[in-house]
Structure 1
Amino acid sequence: MKGLRKTITTAAIGVLAVNSLVMGGFVSGAEIVPGSLQVKEFRYLDKELDRISLEKTGEPDGTRDGHLSLLIDAGEGTEIKSIVLKTADRGGTDTGHGIWTTWKEPSDIGKYLLAVEHDGKTLNKTFKETLGSFKGVNQFDLYASDNNSMKDGEYYYLEITTSAGVIKSDVTPFADADTSYAPVLIREFSWTDLTQDKIGSAAFGEDGSTDGHFKLKLAFAQKTKVLSVILRPTDEDGKAVSAGIWRTNRAGVGWLLGLVQGNKIINTEFNKDVTAPVGNFRGSVTLDLYATNNGSIKNGQHYVIEVETQFGTVISQPVEFGNKESIHTDSTVFPFKTISLKLNAKEAAVDEKQVKLDVAPFSFEGRTMVPLRFVSEAFGAKVDWDKKASKVTIAKDGSKIELVINRKQAVVNGAAVQLDAPAITRNNVTLVPVRFVSESLQMKVFFDEGEIFITDAKEQ
């Protein structure tokens, strides 16, 4: 199933920081200013979440944001004054379909916000004159609210203004993720009836029209924050049509989608805070969904359900209202493992199993450090310790990683790799930067309000 992608940061899939490859570009010869930072990789990742508006973060606007990844080497230290995202054709020529930027003058018109996150922290909640100074290898997540140019066929590039000049990246094509990392499966989505009057356009209560009634069964691999649930009319192939939209949060246009679990109404009305989540869920959950009929809920119309979580969004196949044979089901066994940790806390979890750590994750030199053996072995890697050489070796699925304590260099599959923070020991526990160990083992990292999630999910 193709997954679409509030406050999360994701590490790019694969070994971005390890290999330092420029995988997203189709144009060679990006402009580099001598002595300043270098763009190691720039690519479009997905369009899964709605977390910003055109001018501010934390304000969902009803459209999913473009999510891009930027990997740089800032050398001994470089100030990044601004980053501008522009559209281009495959050859790198500007197309003028949109400009997103971290800073603009009040008189600038037609420029939208480019939100930048670094290790789980938003650097610019709105337009900001400078993003700060950086050293060594840094990975950023970029978010741009869709202005109708985040779609197939579009290409993008960056102009990064530093204290030394302007660097232009290669172009990267639009990419809608084929995979979702949300630890939730839509076990069943089906229509039920059009006979009850339980909800109005913005709150539960009769409004004189019968409601579209749907059934939704979900399975969560772990405790998961659901940010929103959206009912969207489509054609039989799942492409959106202009027949209205029902949602649990009032971001953008649409009517209230009411969720009922057993006899409990989960969302009695639109929450005044559009960023407030629907709630936290775990295990198997069955919901009744109610959508006031705006005239478009009728036999023959198709619908999909979207479940947006802190990790990403999962979407059902289209279901035809009135057709008893039309039902979405998924009996997939969860094909992945997820571990969760908290900064400065020894409590952790591997899927639903609680674990006590000897040393809690913490920040060191601006990097999040996690226990190497715990993370590696949780995902099936073998860890060996050479006390004489102060060297740790991790092996998994043909990959081999070698680290020496207090040294900012590692060896990954025989190749030397520079680290942005060295491996260190605390109470005889080896800790490493979370991005390095996770990406070296081809896993994905999420940060969410002090929590760290690492998953080896590949697809749903």
Structure 2
Amino acid sequence: MRKLSRTLQTAAIIAVAFNGMAMGGAAFGADGTAALLKVKEFRYLDKEMDRISLEKTGAPDGTRDGHLRLLIDAGEGTEIKSITMKTADGQGTDTGHGIWASWKEPSDIGKYLLAVEHDGKTINDTFKESLGQFKGVNQFDLYASDNNSMKEGEYYYLEIETSAGLVKSEVTPFADAATSYAPVLIREFSWADLNQDKIGSAAFGEDGSKDGHFKLKLAFAQKTKVLAVILRPTDQDGKEVSAGIWRTNRAGVGWLLGLVQGDKIINPEFNKDETAPVGSFRGTVSLDLYATNNGSIKNGQNYVIEVETQFGTVKSTPIEFGKQGSIYTDTTVFPFKTISLKLNSKEAAVDEKNFKLDVPPFSLDSRTMVPLRFISEAFGAKVEWDKKNGRITIAKDSSKIELVINKKQAVVDGKTVNLDSPAIVRNNVTLVPVRFVSESLNMTVFFDEGEIYVTDAKQQ
């Protein structure tokens, strides 16, 4: 199973991202001169989500997308016109296995969409001529629908066209995450029987065949949006076989996987909106799963279950239908902590415990400001306040951050770094840019439609 430490989708970006050291090599303009924009990191993260098609976002096409992360320093400001991703070998030589781009001319053939997200918001729903103006350090999540070249052995690099010239990244290898940030554990997955007829191929209701009946128990560390639950037939080693697929949504790709919680049917049929989630869950949830029998649900066949969330996907190992004692279990204790916040709301949570903030998170000059002490102390950091000098010190493990109110410089582990927004005080509460403080303390930040999630999950 994928243990819970990385994502969608991912490895934590640490404080080095803010100290001016480029992790992806120097950036050069088209004429060889230094460009304003610098690539600080470009990394393949995982292949856990199905968010886009080859030409449009919000249009799942039944295949998991490549998810990559780009960290840039745009200096005092530059326009990013387009980002193009190409395949290469380990030495950076083009292999021609695929081209994904945020923009293409109408006459271009063979380019697929490269979807670009910034702070949880998609910049380009489809091909877009310019991604906009950016300043300072910015993080982008990139999504590329699989064209059969998202696999082991492939490498990728970026060409970023800016108002100051062309910037090229170093290559990053395909590296599907072995672990996930998703705050959910599959506590139990088992087969039940072939005695009931409750569901058809696309909706609940008898269809004359006995359904595959499975049991699923999930544990959620916090309120989590489940995007899809997928049942896949496999061989005994977990390799997918061509015997069909059952899923809770994505009509047109496989048969309906019906979820029942107690007496409640969660998904009576395929939702017309393919992007609609199954629902949001918290705590321990027990489900009955029903899959219409297409002839391949039988004793001796192996199955895995996948649970896709906005953070990534968790997956079981195979169970053998009809085999006594064939059951997947996981008694792992959640190995990380997650804070959930919402813009302009005082409601917050640390795992399953609720809190009320004195000052809510808010947006300031396109930066998300959050209460410093709440974030820091929730993760076990020690916060000290020097009122006379307006200085704040945050210490956790071997990391140490020093900030001064209203000053655009900070000291991280002895090195001076520049902030896009300084620490400020509002109603006697100190607020800081969430990405700076969390990642300086080796945390990871997710944004999702106004929701902010910070986790201390570590790369393993």
TM-score (norm 1): 0.95
Question: In the alignment, what sits opposite 2:181?
Answer: 181
Deviates most, 86-95 or 335-344: 335-344
The alpha-carbon distance between structure 1 residues 49 and 184, as it changes in their structure 2 partners (threshold 3 A), is: same
Rounded Cα–Cα distance in structure 1 between residues aligned with 2:96 and 2:126: 22
Question: In the alignment, what sits opposite 2:256?
Answer: 256
Rounded Cα–Cα distance in structure 2 between residues aligned with 1:459 and 1:169: 23
Question: In the alignment, what sits opposite 2:99?
Answer: 99
Question: In the alignment, what sits opposite 1:327?
Answer: 327
Aligned-residue sequence identity (percent) comes to: 81
1:172-251 map, 5 Å: 172-250=172-250
Question: In the alignment, what sits opposite 1:397?
Answer: 397
Question: In the alignment, what sits opposite 1:137?
Answer: 137
Rounded Cα–Cα distance in structure 2 between residues aligned with 1:120 and 1:408: 25
Rounded Cα–Cα distance in structure 2 between residues aligned with 1:78 and 1:275: 33
- Number of aligned pairs? 455
Question: In the alignment, what sits opposite 1:361?
Answer: 361
Letter of the 1:45 partner, please give it.
Answer: L
The alpha-carbon distance between structure 1 residues 222 and 51, as it changes in their structure 2 partners (threshold 3 A), is: same
In the TM superposition, residue 312 of structure 1 has moved relative to its aligned partner by: 1.3
CA contact 2:423–2:433 (8 Å) conserved in 1? yes
CA contact 1:233–1:304 (8 Å) conserved in 2? yes
Rounded Cα–Cα distance in structure 2 between residues aligned with 1:287 and 1:71: 40
Three-state SS of the structure 1 residue aligned to 2:49 is coil
Question: In the alignment, what sits opposite 1:446?
Answer: 446
The alpha-carbon distance between structure 1 residues 107 and 35, as it changes in their structure 2 partners (threshold 3 A), is: closer
CA contact 2:258–2:290 (8 Å) conserved in 1? yes
1:32-181 map, 5 Å: 32=29, 33-181=33-181
- Render the CA deviation track for 1:194-233: whole Å, top value 9, x for unaligned: 1221111111111121111110011111111111100011
Letter of the 1:275 partner, please give it.
Answer: T
Rounded Cα–Cα distance in structure 2 between residues aligned with 1:20 and 1:313: 33
In the TM superposition, residue 2 of structure 1 has moved relative to its aligned partner by: 2.5
Letter of the 2:130 partner, please give it.
Answer: T
The alpha-carbon distance between structure 1 residues 20 and 293, as it changes in their structure 2 partners (threshold 3 A), is: farther
CA contact 1:211–1:290 (8 Å) conserved in 2? yes
Rounded Cα–Cα distance in structure 2 between residues aligned with 1:35 and 1:176: 32
Rounded Cα–Cα distance in structure 2 between residues aligned with 1:441 and 1:302: 42
The alpha-carbon distance between structure 1 residues 72 and 367, as it changes in their structure 2 partners (threshold 3 A), is: same
Rounded Cα–Cα distance in structure 1 between residues aligned with 2:26 and 2:265: 57
Rounded Cα–Cα distance in structure 2 between residues aligned with 1:227 and 1:341: 20
1:310-459 map, 5 Å: 310-458=310-458
CA contact 1:4–1:47 (8 Å) conserved in 2? no
Rounded Cα–Cα distance in structure 2 between residues aligned with 1:172 and 1:42: 7
In the TM superposition, residue 335 of structure 1 has moved relative to its aligned partner by: 1.9
Question: In the alignment, what sits opposite 1:287?
Answer: 287
Rounded Cα–Cα distance in structure 1 between residues aligned with 2:116 and 2:16: 18
In the TM superposition, residue 284 of structure 1 has moved relative to its aligned partner by: 1.1
Rounded Cα–Cα distance in structure 2 between residues aligned with 1:294 and 1:49: 26
RMSD between superposed Cα atoms in Å = 1.9
In the TM superposition, residue 283 of structure 1 has moved relative to its aligned partner by: 1.2
Rounded Cα–Cα distance in structure 2 between residues aligned with 1:103 and 1:204: 42
TM-score (norm 2): 0.95
The alpha-carbon distance between structure 1 residues 16 and 280, as it changes in their structure 2 partners (threshold 3 A), is: farther
Three-state SS of the structure 2 residue aligned to 1:435 is helix
Rounded Cα–Cα distance in structure 2 between residues aligned with 1:3 and 1:160: 34
Rounded Cα–Cα distance in structure 2 between residues aligned with 1:438 and 1:194: 49
Deviates most, 116-125 or 249-258: 249-258
The alpha-carbon distance between structure 1 residues 176 and 459, as it changes in their structure 2 partners (threshold 3 A), is: same
In the TM superposition, residue 36 of structure 1 has moved relative to its aligned partner by: 2.3
- Render the CA deviation track for 1:75-131: whole Å, top value 9, x for unaligned: 111111000011100000111111110001112111111111111221111110000
The alpha-carbon distance between structure 1 residues 163 and 305, as it changes in their structure 2 partners (threshold 3 A), is: same
Question: In the alignment, what sits opposite 1:303?
Answer: 303
Letter of the 1:300 partner, please give it.
Answer: G
Rounded Cα–Cα distance in structure 2 between residues aligned with 1:246 and 1:20: 48
In the TM superposition, residue 30 of structure 1 has moved relative to its aligned partner by: 5.5
Letter of the 1:293 partner, please give it.
Answer: N
CA contact 1:11–1:446 (8 Å) conserved in 2? no
Letter of the 1:367 partner, please give it.
Answer: R
Rounded Cα–Cα distance in structure 2 between residues aligned with 1:143 and 1:291: 30
